Amino acid sequence: MAEPEASWETIGDLPGPWATALAAFAGRVAEHPWGGRPPARLVVADDLVDALERWMAPSEFASWEAGHRSGRIARTGAKHFIAADGKSTVAVPQAERAVFLHLAGHEFVEAALDDAHDQQGHAVDDRPTDEGISPRGLWHLIWTEYVVERVRHEAARGLGWPCSTLDRGWITGQLQDFARELPALIRWAVAHDAVPQRAWQHWAELALTWPACLGRAADGCPAAHGELKRFNAHPLAQETIGAWETVKATLSEIWDAPDRPAVEHDDRFERGGWYVLYEAFADLWNTRYAAAQG
């Protein structure tokens, strides 16, 4: 049987066996109910930021850089975007094989899903800015992170790819960081009569990374399953467990309906996902804020 060949342009150094593995992965994604076409270009980057600056439209790169400089959310590991020349492009940094294929696989699935949504005429402005992104853009990102990672893990598992260090997810560490900073954030809020941006950042990061871990666990990833157990045992997770369980059920409903328009999934996640997490954060925050006020 002939080895699969890549249908995209590759910029940078990519070992032949890795290219073959990625082509086989793209074939699996193309046949998946949630899948679609691969990107037109893969950039293997020595420096991801330099690659994004080179290939992105200047205005989009400026927006992306401003959002990350402001600390809106954690740094980007790899990225899919429409380049300045209009081509669907994935940029992935140099890394060891398992991590590289994990990152590239995630972005390839994202490119396929974005292409499918574009064909529906669905567009969401999810570009990072100093102020963040639109709420609709955020909740679209959240549910698609679940779908993308579940598809990626399923395709990778089918090809026998080894798990990478990224499969665990470290969401418990994120929650621990939030718990550690929470008393100081509450003190600042009482002194300034405002919710600090850092508190929202913690919660938004969890809202994005938790569904990705859940997607891997739903496909049977032992590392992700173990991380979810550790997360659920944390006191802050226990305090908000009802919200996380509701979101889990909503994401499962979305997964079971790949043929429905993306706009319907956005609306479903707005009601059964984002605002559930928003209200959980508000209750957690207000309880501590009231106690700190005396």
Q: What is the pLDDT of residues 135-178, one digit of tens each?
A: 667 889 999 999 999 999 999 999 999 999 999 999 999 999 99
Residue 41 lies in a domain: yes
Whether 14 and 120 share a structural domain:
yes
Q: What is the mean pLDDT of residues 256-269?
A: 95
pLDDT for 121 beyond 80: no
- Identity of residue 224: A
* Per-residue pLDDT band at 65 (split at 50, 70, 90): confident
Instruction: Give yes or no for residue 122 having a pLDDT over 90.
Output: no
- What's the pLDDT at 112? 96
73 shares a domain with 176: no
Tallying the residues shown for the chain, one arrives at: 294
Q: Are residues 107 and 202 in the same domain?
A: no
Residue 285: enclosing H or E segment and its boundaries? helix 275-293
What pLDDT score was predicted for residue 130? 47
The verdict on 35 and 79 lying in the same domain is yes
Full residue range of the structural domain in which residue 222 is found: 165-293
Model-level pTM greater than 0.85? yes
Asked if pLDDT for residue 292 goes beyond 60, the answer is: yes
Measured over the CA atoms of residue 112, residue 212, residue 156 and residue 78, the dihedral's sign is positive
Q: How far apart are CA 181 and CA 184, in angstroms?
A: 6
Is the same domain home to 96 and 42? Answer: yes
- Beta strand 41-45 with 79-82 is unpaired
129 and 169 share one domain: no
pLDDT 10s digits, 188-240: 999 999 999 899 889 989 999 999 999 999 999 999 999 999 999 999 999 99
Average pLDDT of span 273-282:
94
DSSP one-letter string for 233-280: HSHHHHHTHHHHHHHHHHHHHHHT-TTS-HHHHHHHHIIIIIHHHHHH
pLDDT one-digit tens code per residue, 92-106: 999 999 999 999 999
Both 97 and 182 in one domain: the answer is: no
**Number of structural domains in the chain:** 2
Listed in sequence order, the residues at least 6 apart from 164 whose beta carbon sits closer than 8 Å to its beta carbon are 98, 99, 101, 102
Q: Quote the CA–CA distance of 161 and 103 in Å, as a whole number.
A: 13
Residues 280 and 179 both lie in one domain: yes
The answer to whether residue 144 sits within a structural domain is no
Do residues 127 and 170 both lie within one domain?
Answer: no
Higher pLDDT, 127 or 40: 40
Sole residue written with tokens 């609709």? 136
Question: Would you state the pLDDT for residue 138?
Answer: 81
Closest to 139 measured CA to CA, from 227, 224, 60, 211: 211
